[in-house]
Amino acid sequence: MAMQYQWYPGHMTKAKRQIQEDLKLVDVIIELVDARIPYSSKNPDIQAMAANKPRVLLLNKADLADAKKNTLWKEYYENQGYLVVPVNSKSGDGAKEVGKVIAQACKEKTERDRKKGILNRPVRAMVVGIPNVGKSTFINTFAGKAIAKTGNKPGVTKGKQWIRLNKDVELLDTPGILWPKFEDQSVGLCIALIGSINDEILVTTELGFELCRFLTAEYPGALTAKYGIEECQDANELLQRFAKKRACLSKGGVLDIDKASGFLLDDFRNGKIGQFTLEQVKQRVDKSENEKTVSE
Ligand SMILES: Nc1nc2c(ncn2[C@@H]2O[C@H](COP(=O)(O)OP(=O)(O)O)[C@@H](O)[C@H]2O)c(=O)[nH]1
Ligand SMILES: [Mg+2]
């Protein structure tokens, strides 16, 4: 692929340092990834920063992803020691299960406290994830009802606001912002396809092309079912057919592929074509194993 999907937001180092500081204050980490790209939307640094803390991993936007793949990714991360729940933070679907795993994550901490003679100290948690993954939505939906802020507590860094989730759990009300690893081009492409990179630095047509390629290969029939266009191997040709169907014409009656790609991407990102997962467990597991071998 000719183009480079790169994205270097400012203040990355500062934000990372902030997370490192905040992590010292919490017992449990609630990490959000996008269920459509559970590998690419996961920051690798958090692993090192959060050593020895129970980790809850939420496959957020599960409503937009392939339900069967949600199950496979859940198993994959459970095998790595996470407590995993597919959720829809917008609707609150999965809330019950989230409550359950948070309680489970807290149990270890409460047990440890009890052995040290500490009783009735609430467990503290923090939400982390890359931009746009749904952190604010999650906090609003899941803590919104319990929005009573507990204010500053003695011995805690000034200015931190805690939201009480229930009698056992307090949540830091500012989410920690992480960044995806962009060394791998395919990670950048995945992040771009779900719409988490500013569009102006991307070539819409190229993304439309990649999306056509992916959908015809992994979910054959999906584009035909939605738009009534005949699918073909040639993604350029397919984009043309889509543009024709949507009557995307520029001045002079020429097909406007860029505009058509924009429509296609919008529909995909909003779940209007269907529920799709861009990454397969197998593919990504093989890859991480290879990476490990190289660095050793
Ligand atoms: N369909 C769907 N959309 C979601 C979900 N969670 C968040 N969103 C949407 O994703 C966008 C980014 O969410 P936001 O909470 O601002 O992300 P943040 O940057 O991590 O705080 C918003 O448009 C949300 O409405 C979800 O579970 N399902
Ligand atoms: Mg936010």
Query: Can you list the domains of the chain with their CATH numbers?
Result: 12-177 (3.40.50.300), 203-289 (1.10.1580.10)
Read off the pLDDT of each residue in 80-99 and give the average, rounded to a whole number: 94
How do residues 171-208 score in pLDDT, each as one tens digit? 998 888 888 877 778 888 899 999 887 655 568 999 99
Residue 139 reports pLDDT greater than 80: yes
What is the reported pLDDT for 10? 57
Max mean pLDDT among 37-46, 62-71, 111-120 falls in 62-71
Q: What is the CA(64)–ligand 2 centre distance, in A?
A: 19
Quick one: pLDDT band at residue 77, thresholds 50, 70, 90? very high
Q: Which atom number of ligand 1 is nearest to the Cα of residue 32?
A: 20
> 215 or 195: whose pLDDT is higher?
215
The minimum-distance atom of ligand 1 relative to the CA of 129 is: 20
At residue 202, the 3 state secondary structure works out as coil
Pocket of ligand 1 (CB under 6 A): 60-61, 63-64, 88-90, 129, 131-137, 175
What is the average per-residue pLDDT within 273-283?
93
Q: How far apart are the first and last CA of the chain?
A: 28
- Compute, in angstroms, the gap from residue 120 CA to the centroid of ligand 1: 34
Query: Residue 290: what pLDDT?
Result: 56
Residue 33 has pLDDT above 50, yes or no: yes
For the stretch 231-264, pLDDT in tens is 999 999 999 999 999 999 988 889 999 999 999 9
User: Measuring from atom 1 of ligand 1, which residue has the nearest CA?
Assistant: 61
Number of neighbours of residue 1 by Cβ within 10 angstroms = 10
Q: Which ligand is nearest to the CA of 178?
A: 1
**Residue 232 carries which DSSP code?**
-
With pLDDT > 70 as the criterion, what percentage of the chain qualifies? 86
Q: What mean pLDDT is reported for the chain?
A: 86
Ligand 1 center to residue 266 CA distance, Å? 15
Q: Which ligand is nearest to the CA of 139?
A: 1
Which of 66, 93, 98, 137 has most ligand 1 atoms within 8 Å of its beta carbon, as the pocket-test mutant? 137
* The pair of three-digit structure tokens given for residue 122, joined into one six-digit string: 């609430």
Ligand 1 atom 13, closest CA? 134
Distance between CA atoms of residues 174 and 185, nearest Å:
30
Confidence at 37, pLDDT banded by 50, 70, 90: very high
Question: Which of 32 and 3 is assigned the larger pLDDT?
Answer: 32
